[in-house]
Structure 1
């Protein structure tokens, strides 16, 4: 697998970044700069380190107990092309895929980068919307503020509109 991804880091075994036992990739670079962001060190597009996709993929699949992968950040959709390449290989390997984004689902659909659409098509779940400090709620599952949604991506794409993953509403 060719290509590189700029990352802030990874967590090889997570139970807090999505359903089940997962691997989390924290991408580097974010245009949103949400006040109160949980990962402000990921904002600088020149920060972090570059990692070969083949090395990252091998690290993810070496643990047979990891069934899901979460793309977090930073803003994953700023690196849609390499993430699509990775996501496609992970999906072919039977992994559940989830991403966090500061964009809304509707905004993502309007972005001109064709790889954004392709990456969305690989996802099972999407947590969308910026973190809003005034709406922070630590009781919410997989999201930091009440404005954010946990979306069922296949249903959302079929409907052409955001569809909540009801178990996370």
Structure 2
């Protein structure tokens, strides 16, 4: 249980995927649809170390070989024709396990909302195969959930909250939902 379950989750995520998403921009009363194609590949220990170095990550890290690390490349086309492409490397560093939940840090060499390395938090629940990632950006806090239904199908939700000065996340700016299917 724990790191092995997380490694199995990510093994199912390796490959080519297609996702159809709907974004609800609450402050603008706008709904937008998009289609994304993306590829997930494991990275070498050298690239994992580079992600740690890019983030100046000083927490103790066990064997790099055991840590889930990946390259993610994607291309999104919105219904308005806007296109966005990005490539980044990510690394998951488990730090604690409690019951069916494994938690730790989620590092990227490039963030989605801001072009810089970033350290976020993740929580993986083995009982429902849900990976929850929380990223505090400068203006928003993004809470991204991936639930693995089976090795060919994932459900994704993205909630962006206005980043509060203090206190709970209570001002939702964006809600996104998607169905992700492994490409044949």
Give the TM-score taking structure 1 as reference length. Answer: 0.33
Higher helix share: 1
